Structure 1
Amino acid sequence: MLTRRFFDTPAWDFDVTKPFAEIERLRQRMDRLFDEWMPSTWKAGRTMGVFPLANLTEDRESYLLRAEIPGVKAEDLDIQATANSVSISGERHIPQEEENVSYHRREREGGRFSRAVALSGEIDPDRVDAKLEHGVLTLRLPKTEASKAKQISVMSTQS
Structure 2
Amino acid sequence: MLNPMTLYPADPFALLRRVSEALNRASFSTAAPVFPAVNVWQNDEAAAIIAEVPGVEPQDIDISVKDDVLTIAGERRAPDLPEGASWQRRERAFGRFSRAIRLPFRVDSDLVEARFADGVLRIAVRRPEADRPRRIEIKAG
TM-score, L = length of structure 1: 0.66
> What is the CA–CA distance in structure 2 between the aligned matches of 1:58 and 1:22, rounded to whole Å?
42
Percent of aligned positions that are identical = 33
Query: Which of residues 139, 154, 157 in structure 1 aligns to 2:123?
Result: 139
Q: 1:130 to 1:48 in 2, by over 3 A?
A: farther
CA RMSD of aligned residues (A): 2.9
Deviation at 1:102, TM superposition (A): 5.3
Q: 1:135 Cα deviation (Å)?
A: 1.0
Is 2:51 aligned against 1:89? no
Question: Given the alignment, which residue of 108, 113, 116 partners 2:100?
Answer: 116
Deviations 1:17-37 (Å, cap 9, x if unpaired)?
432234357x49xx8xx9xxx
Distance 1:67 1:154 in 2: 42
User: Structure 1's 48 and 91: CA in aligned 2 closer, same or farther, altered over 3 A?
Assistant: farther
Cα distance, 1:58–1:65 mapped onto 2, change above 3 Å: same
Write the distance in 2 (CA, Å) between the matches of 1:117 and 1:150: 25
Secondary structure (helix, strand or coil) at the match of 2:97 reads: strand
Find the residue that maps to 1:132 and give its secondary structure: strand
Structure 2: where are the runs of 5+ without partners?
1-13
Q: Which runs of 4+ in 1 moved over 2 A?
A: 15-18, 21-25, 96-103, 154-157
TM-score w.r.t. length of structure 2: 0.73
Residue pairs, 1:11-50, within 5 angstroms? 15-23=14-22, 27=25, 48-50=32-34
**1:80 equivalent in structure 2:** 64
Higher relative contact order (CA 8 A, sep 6+): 2
Assess if the C-alpha contact under 8 Å between 1:48 and 1:113 holds in 2: no
How much has 1:145 moved relative to structure 2? Answer: 2.3
Verify: 1:52 aligned to 2:36, yes or no: yes
